[in-house]
Amino acid sequence: MKKLESTLPNMAIVLTSIAVIAGLALGYVNSVTAGPIEDIKAQQLADGIKAVLAADELTVESPDTLESGAVVYRTDKGVAVQATDPNGFGGKLTVLVGFNSEGLIQGYRVLETSETPGLGAKAGDWFQKGQKGDIIGKQAGNLTVKKDGGEVDAITASTITSRAFLRCVNSAYEALSAQGDAETGASVQCKEGKEESNE
């Protein structure tokens, strides 16, 4: 086979052909993997809702997506709220928070994070029951780190991540409070609790 002459038009044709073939291959791979990726995300969310509400089995109603971007998942075992803060140290941080019928934090799970491994990525465990930054059983709404005058221990060397995490938790509570006219007792009690804390 005769070698193509190294001219500008020949190089442009070869590079364009490679780009088109690579683009088609990436498009195909994306179309093949899109469905399974969505299935995995849906399963992680379902498992997360069960985990934050400490329930093996539950029934989830249709979610409510609020203007703030928070998503409220009402279940027969409590309410879980997904909230996102774009200002973590590594970027966007998304947290799912479970609330009991009194509006107290029952559990949480970090759904999405770009935080530094070994530092900010510790948010998944740091604020769990029995850990240094334990928030389980607390009333959300005004949770802040000790450095900002609050009562929550920040992750060591990761104050920015800790602040973003607590903003997610507080946003989740605010979203739940905004649903105060809804049917569940949890959100009504949350709204009343928040009004009391603002006085």
Per-residue pLDDT for 199 more than 70?
no
Per-residue pLDDT for 198 more than 80?
no
Per-residue pLDDT for 138 more than 50?
yes
pLDDT band for position 184 (cuts 50, 70, 90): very low
Roughly how many angstroms between the first and final C-alpha of the chain, as a whole number? Answer: 85
Per-residue model confidence (pLDDT) at position 59: 87
Of the given ranges (25-34, 73-82, 120-129, 183-192), which has the lowest mean pLDDT?
183-192
Helix axes 185-198, 159-178, angle to 10 degrees: 120
- 105 bridge partner residues: 99
**How confident is the model over 112-131, as pLDDT tens digits?**
888 888 788 899 999 999 99
- 71 bridge partner residues: 65, 82
pTM of the model: 0.74
Q: Report which of residues 186 and 16 the model is more confident about.
A: 16
Q: Give yes or no for a contact between 125 and 179, defined as CB atoms under 8 angstroms apart.
A: no
**How confident is the model over 78-116, as pLDDT tens digits?**
899 999 999 888 889 999 999 988 889 999 999 988 888
